[in-house]
Amino acid sequence: VIAGLDARWTYPFIRHEGRRIVILAEGGMAPMGAKTAAGLLRYRGNEVVAVVDADRAGAVASECVGFGPEAPIVRTVDEALSHRPDVLVIGIAPIGGILPDAWRRHVLAGLRAGLDVWSGLHTFLGDDLELAHAAREGGCSIWDVRRPPLPQAVARRGGWPEAHVVYVTGTDCSVGKMTTAVELTWWLRKMGKRAAFVPTGQTGVMLAGWGVAVDRVVSDFVAGAAQAMVADAAAAADYVIVEGQGSLLHPAYSGVTLGLIHGSGASAMVLCHYWAREVVEGGYGVAIPPLDEVVSLYEAVARPVREAPVVAVSLNTCGLAPDRAAALAASVSGDTELPVVDSLSDAMQEVGEAVIRRFEG
Amino acid sequence: VIAGLDARWTYPFIRHEGRRIVILAEGGMAPMGAKTAAGLLRYRGNEVVAVVDADRAGAVASECVGFGPEAPIVRTVDEALSHRPDVLVIGIAPIGGILPDAWRRHVLAGLRAGLDVWSGLHTFLGDDLELAHAAREGGCSIWDVRRPPLPQAVARRGGWPEAHVVYVTGTDCSVGKMTTAVELTWWLRKMGKRAAFVPTGQTGVMLAGWGVAVDRVVSDFVAGAAQAMVADAAAAADYVIVEGQGSLLHPAYSGVTLGLIHGSGASAMVLCHYWAREVVEGGYGVAIPPLDEVVSLYEAVARPVREAPVVAVSLNTCGLAPDRAAALAASVSGDTELPVVDSLSDAMQEVGEAVIRRFEG
C-alpha cells in the first residue's frame, strides 16, 4: 500500500483491479492540470506506480497535484518500467483529442514492453496500424475508452425512468463536475440511499468500468446515449447522479451539455464552479456571468422538457486560502440563495441534503 | 420543362445539374410530409421525373404536397424507370436514420438499373456490401450525404468572421427552417446584399452541393463544423444565413441546435414555427411554450457567447385558412413584438428588413 492512500479509494462503484498503472501526464502534473491523471490519482491512486512528466521528474505525484499517492514522477515510459507497471494510461487530453507525435514514442515504448494502453483520445489508437501492430507484438491490448458502443440511437419517447436524476453541471470545462458527481453519489450511499454514478466522459468510464464518453458520440445520438445509461443505472438505483460535460456557456461544447441535460431527463442539477475562472477555458473570450444568472439559464433551458432546479453549488477552491474560501462560499450562497459546499473539503453533505429535499421533501 | 415550375428553381445557390431524379418517398407525399422529398420538389422540381409512394400512386406530386412539379407518383422504382431517371434520392428520413428493409429492394432496383443513389440516412449505404456491390455492377455511385468531411475539429478560439451571421431556428423539427433560410438568403440577394446560405442538413446539402449534415458529426465537433462552414461562406458574403437543426425544446435534438448556435457565432436569429404544433414531434410529451418565452429562451442561451436577438418570426401556416393565417400572424406579432411573416406566402421581406435593421441600423 502506497502512503497517501485514503478511504475514498474503496468506493464500491470505482473499479479496484489491482492493476499497476503508469500515467502519461506530460506537462499536466499540477493543481487543476491533467484531468484524467487527476481522476486516476484521486480514485485509483493505490494502483498508480509511476507518472511520466519530464518537467517534474524526481518529484512525487501528491506534491504536484495536492492529493493522491506518493507515486514517483519519471521522465519516460522506459524509466517507469522499473516500477513494474502493467498498464499505461494516457492521462492528458489535448484539445481535439489527437495523439501528438511526441507522445507516440511513449505509447510505443509501453506497448513494446507489454503494457496495456488505455486512451481517451478522439483518435482511436487501436485503429493506428503501427500501434495495433506493437500491441500484437507485445501481447497486450489497447482500450480506446471513447469508442462509442453500438447500437446508437436517438432518444426514445417515454424512455425516461422514474428515478431521481441529478445532472452535475458547471460554469465551464474542468471545474470539478466528475469529482462532485462521484462524491455526491458516495454521500448518498452512505446515507443509505440507492445511488448510482453515471460516467459520461473518458475518466469516469475508466473509473467506473462502464459508461459512454458522449462527446465522441454522433450528435444526433447523444441524448439517446444519456437516456440509455440513465435507464441502466435506474434499474438498481433511486438516485441517478449524471456526470456532466462541458458547459452551456462554452461555445465549443455547449451542445454536448444540453444533449446530456435533456437526454438524461434531469430533474435536479448541481452547479460546479471554479473560483479562479472568470472566462471559459480556451481563449474564446466568453465571460462567465454572475452565478445566479447561470443558475437561471440552466433552469430555463431544462424547463421545457423537465423542471430541474439547481439545488446546490459545488465550489472548487483549489489555490484559495481557507479563510478566503469560506468567505467566497458564503458570498456565493448569498447571491444564489443556494447551499454552497467547498468541493475540496469533501463536504458533500449540504449538496446531498439539498438533493434529498428536492425529491423527498 | 414540367408544368408547375416557377422562378424559385433558378436560385443561384441551388444546384441545377439537369439530373433526372426519382424520389423514394414511401408514405411521405403529403403536406408537412417527407422533408427531403419536399425540399427537392420545391427547389429542384424541374429535375424530378417521378416519385415513389405506393399509397398515392396515380396522383401527381404537386397535388399531394401543394407545390412543385406535376411529377407522376408511382408504386415502385421499377415503374419509375419508364421516366428515364438517372438518380434515385431517398426522400424520407426514418427516426434514427436506418434503412428499413422494405426500402432496400427499391435501392437495389435503382442501383441495378444504373441509377446513382443519394441518401441522407445515418447508416451509410456505401458501406453496405450488398448495395456497394450493386452500385459497382450497375456502374453507378452512392452519395451518402450525411457522411462527415475530414478533418473534424473542435471550434477554435477567434475562428468567427466579421460577417452578419443569422441562425434560422425553430420551435421544433420540421417547421420550415431550411425553406425560410433559403428564401431569406434569396431575398437578401435580390436586395443587392452579398448573402450566403449555409446548409447543415442532408436536404440542404443536396440542394446547395456543399455543407455538412451536422447531426451526423461527432458531438464534440459540431460547433467546429459550424464555425468552419460560416468562415467559408463569409469569404464571399456579408450576410451568412445558417440553416438551423432541431430545436432547443426538443429533448432528442436540442444539443445539435445549441452546438450550431454557438458554433456558428450567430448574432441574430429568426424563429420558425408551425401553427399546428402544440407539442414537439415524436410523442415526447414536451409542450411548446408561448412564443415570447421561446424567443427569450433562445436569446438567453445565445447571450453568454454572443448577443443574438430574434429579429423576426417565420410562421408556417400549412393547412390554415388564409384569413385565419393572417389573424394568427397578427396575434403572434402582438405577443412577440416582432415582425411575423407567413412563410407559405414567400413574403420574406419583413424578415429580411428586420435582419438588415439589426446589422445596418
Question: What pLDDT is recorded for position A345?
Answer: 74
Residues of A in contact with B287 (CB under 8 A): 304
> Distance (Å, rounded) from C-alpha B342 to C-alpha B272?
10
- Output the CA torsion sign for A157, A163, A164, A167: negative
Question: What pLDDT is recorded for position B199?
Answer: 98
A285 in contact with chain B, both atoms CB, cutoff 8 A:
yes
Phi, psi torsion values for B204, nearest 5 degrees: -55, -40
CA-nearest residue of chain B to A153?
B96
Residues of B in contact with A260 (CB under 8 A): 255
Angle of helix A291-302 relative to helix A254-264, nearest 10 degrees?
50
- Nearest alpha-carbon partner for B254 in A241, A220, A270: A220
Location of C-alpha cell 460535460 = A245
A277 in contact with chain B, both atoms CB, cutoff 8 A:
no
Phi, psi torsion values for A161, nearest 5 degrees: -80, 175
Tell me the per-residue pLDDT of A149-208, one tens digit each, with 9 for 90 and over: 888 999 999 889 989 999 999 999 999 999 999 999 999 999 999 999 999 999 999 999
Quote the pTM value.
Answer: 0.94
A287 in contact with chain B, both atoms CB, cutoff 8 A:
yes
Mean pLDDT (whole number) for A140-148: 97
> Distance (Å, rounded) from C-alpha A231 to C-alpha A159?
8
Amino acid at B253: Y
Question: What pLDDT is recorded for position B177?
Answer: 97
Window 295-354 of A: residues touching B by CB (8 A cutoff) are 296-297, 300-301, 304-305
Average pLDDT, chain B: 94
| End-to-end CA gap in chain B | 43
A vs B, Cβ pairs < 8 A, gives 160
Mean pLDDT (whole number) for A133-155: 95
Residues of A in contact with B216 (CB under 8 A): 218-220
SS3 per-residue string spanning chain A: CCCCCCHHHHCCCCCCCCCCEEEECCCCCCCCCCHHHHHHHHHCHHHEEEEECHHHCCCEHHHHHCCCCCCEEECCHHHHHHHCCCEEEECCCCCCCCCCHHHHHHHHHHHHCCCEEEECCCCCHHHCHHHHHHHHHHCCCEEECCCCCCCCCCCCCCCCCCCEEEEEEECCCCCCHHHHHHHHHHHHHHCCCCEEEECCCHHHHHHHCCCCCHHHCEHHHHHHHHHHHHHHHHCCCCEEEEECCCCCCCCCCHHHHHHHHHHHCCCEEEEEEECCCCECCCCCCCECCCHHHHHHHHHHHHCCCCCCCEEEEEEECCCCCHHHHHHHHHHHHHHHCCCEEEHHHCCCHHHHHHHHHHHHC
Average pLDDT, chain A: 94
Q: Which of A157, A254, A262 sits opposite B262 (nearest CB)?
A: A254
In this complex, do A256 and B259 lie within 8 Å of one another by their Cβ atoms? yes
Question: What pLDDT is recorded for position B8?
Answer: 44
Please report which confidence band the pLDDT of residue B98 belongs to, taking 50, 70 and 90 as the band edges: confident
CA-nearest residue of chain B to A214?
B219
Cell digits of residue A196: 448510482
Please report which confidence band the pLDDT of residue B2 belongs to, taking 50, 70 and 90 as the band edges: very low
In this complex, do B300 and A304 lie within 8 Å of one another by their Cβ atoms? no
In this complex, do B220 and A122 lie within 8 Å of one another by their Cβ atoms? yes
Cα of A287 to nearest chain B Cα, Å: 7
In this complex, do A248 and B222 lie within 8 Å of one another by their Cβ atoms? no
Cα of A353 to nearest chain B Cα, Å: 28
Mean pLDDT (whole number) for A27-55: 95
Question: Burial, A107: exposed, middle or buried (Cβ in 10 Å; 0-12, 13-18, 19+)?
Answer: buried
Q: Return the minimum-mean-pLDDT range out of A88-97, A166-175, A232-241.
A: A88-97
Question: What pLDDT is recorded for position A95?
Answer: 67
In this complex, do B223 and A252 lie within 8 Å of one another by their Cβ atoms? yes
Residues of A in contact with B292 (CB under 8 A): none
Residues 6+ apart with CB under 8 A from A271: A169, A170, A171, A291, A294, A295, A298, A310, A312, A313, A314, A338
Assess whether pLDDT exceeds 70 at residue A318.
yes
B219 in contact with chain A, both atoms CB, cutoff 8 A:
yes
In this complex, do A255 and B153 lie within 8 Å of one another by their Cβ atoms? no
- Nearest alpha-carbon partner for A294 in A242, A250, A245: A250
Please report which confidence band the pLDDT of residue B12 belongs to, taking 50, 70 and 90 as the band edges: confident
Cell digits of residue B275: 401553427
B150 in contact with chain A, both atoms CB, cutoff 8 A:
no
Cell digits of residue B149: 468531411
Question: What pLDDT is recorded for position B343?
Answer: 87
Tell me the per-residue pLDDT of B289-314, one tens digit each, with 9 for 90 and over: 999 999 999 999 999 999 999 999 99
In this complex, do A218 and B223 lie within 8 Å of one another by their Cβ atoms? no
B57 in contact with chain A, both atoms CB, cutoff 8 A:
no
Assess whether pLDDT exceeds 70 at residue A47.
yes
Assess whether pLDDT exceeds 90 at residue B4.
no
Count the alpha carbons within 13 Å of B69 in the hemisphere toward its beta carbon: 25
Question: What pLDDT is recorded for position A337?
Answer: 98
Mean pLDDT (whole number) for A208-218: 97
Amino acid at B110: G
Window 65-94 of A: residues touching B by CB (8 A cutoff) are none
In this complex, do B218 and A216 lie within 8 Å of one another by their Cβ atoms? yes
Cα of A270 to nearest chain B Cα, Å: 19
Please report which confidence band the pLDDT of residue A10 belongs to, taking 50, 70 and 90 as the band edges: low
A217 in contact with chain B, both atoms CB, cutoff 8 A:
yes
CA-nearest residue of chain A to B227?
A252
Assess whether pLDDT exceeds 70 at residue A5.
no
Mean pLDDT (whole number) for A311-320: 96
> Distance (Å, rounded) from C-alpha B236 to C-alpha B250?
33
Residues 6+ apart with CB under 8 A from B262: A250, A251, A252, A254, A255, B155, B223, B302, B305, B306
A129 in contact with chain B, both atoms CB, cutoff 8 A:
no
Location of C-alpha cell 431556428 = B169
What single-letter DSSP state applies at residue B244?
Answer: P
Assess whether pLDDT exceeds 60 at residue B5.
no
> Distance (Å, rounded) from C-alpha B27 to C-alpha A357?
49
Question: What pLDDT is recorded for position B96?
Answer: 63
Question: What pLDDT is recorded for position B172?
Answer: 98
Q: Return the minimum-mean-pLDDT range out of A92-96, A151-155, A162-166, A219-223.
A: A92-96
The ipTM of this complex is: 0.92
B28 in contact with chain A, both atoms CB, cutoff 8 A:
no
Tell me the per-residue pLDDT of B72-88, one tens digit each, with 9 for 90 and over: 999 999 999 999 999 99
A57 in contact with chain B, both atoms CB, cutoff 8 A:
no
Question: What pLDDT is recorded for position A138?
Answer: 96
